[in-house]
Amino acid sequence: MEDHKQRALLHFLKRSGKPLRSFLESLAKDLQQLRDCYELLDPRWQDYDHKFMQLMILDGCFMLEILCLDTHKMEDYAETDPIFSNHGQIHIIPFIKRDMLMLENQLPMQVLHSLVDVDSNGTKDEEFVNKLILKFYPSNMPISFVGSCLHILKVYRKSLLSDIPSCRRQKKCHWHLRPHYEDGDDIIRSAMELNEAGIRFKKSKTISLKDITFH
């Protein structure tokens, strides 16, 4: 995954037209604040400023590139790119999407805000980042304003709870057991999950991938 992050960083910098130094200087202003976001920080990140900064900008740029997939055309990536190609978006991105919501994978939102601020020359604020996240994690409950959040998981949680006050006032709510993904990028189910859902499989007599029938 580190190789993919390095590649994403290079694409991000080339597209922005700004040197890496500009982004590092912006992040350096909030260095201690970023460190304080982590309760238990590995000594290799705690004791070496440049390594911690490298980690923040590497993860931050990769996350922004992923979030922008639903709103921006990534034409500068190769058609065979493992992640940012059409194939990658179908087979890899759904797993990354889930991983990005895991608590241990949360990145301080200040990192994303700082990168976007420098990239846009100050024309895009935290709500721009929030909208990227909401587009990437669509919800049946529309939300017009998110406000300050510590990380992506907080934005996602707010989107799921955004309609609760109005539901209480109206005393009538329409709940869905799970979000409806209009983009068709929901994660591919494993054979075990499909079997548990009542779908049965029978071994094919050929080796052709096209030899599939449904009953």
> Is 201 within the bounds of a domain?
no
Helices 2-16, 49-67: inter-axial angle, 10-degree rounding: 80
3-state DSSP percent of the chain in helix, strand and coil, to 5: 55, 0, 45
The Cβ of residue 127 has, within 10 Å, a number of other Cβ atoms equal to 14
* Domain extent at residue 55: 2-170
Residues 6+ away with beta carbon under 8 Å from 41: 35
> Is 177 within the bounds of a domain?
no
> Is 187 within the bounds of a domain?
no
Burial label for 119, CB within 10 Å (0-12, 13-18, 19+), is: buried
d(CA 30, CA 36): 10
pLDDT at residue 210 in the model: 59
- On whether the CB atoms of residues 79 and 85 are closer than 8 A, the answer is yes
pLDDT at residue 211 in the model: 66
pLDDT at residue 181 in the model: 42
pLDDT 10s per residue in the chain (215 long)?
Answer: 888 999 999 999 999 999 999 999 999 998 888 888 887 777 777 667 888 888 899 999 999 999 998 887 788 899 999 999 999 998 999 999 989 998 888 999 999 999 999 999 988 888 899 999 989 988 766 666 778 888 999 898 888 776 544 444 444 444 343 444 444 445 556 778 788 888 888 887 877 655 667 66
pTM for this entry: 0.72
- On whether the CB atoms of residues 57 and 6 are closer than 8 A, the answer is no
The Cβ of residue 56 has, within 10 Å, a number of other Cβ atoms equal to 25
pLDDT at residue 172 in the model: 44
pLDDT at residue 209 in the model: 56
> Is 102 within the bounds of a domain?
yes
Number of domains in the chain: 1
pLDDT at residue 57 in the model: 94
Helical (H) or strand (E) element with 128: helix 126-136
Convert 190-209 to b/e letters by CB count within 10 Å (16 or more is b): eeeeeeeeeeeeeeeeeeee
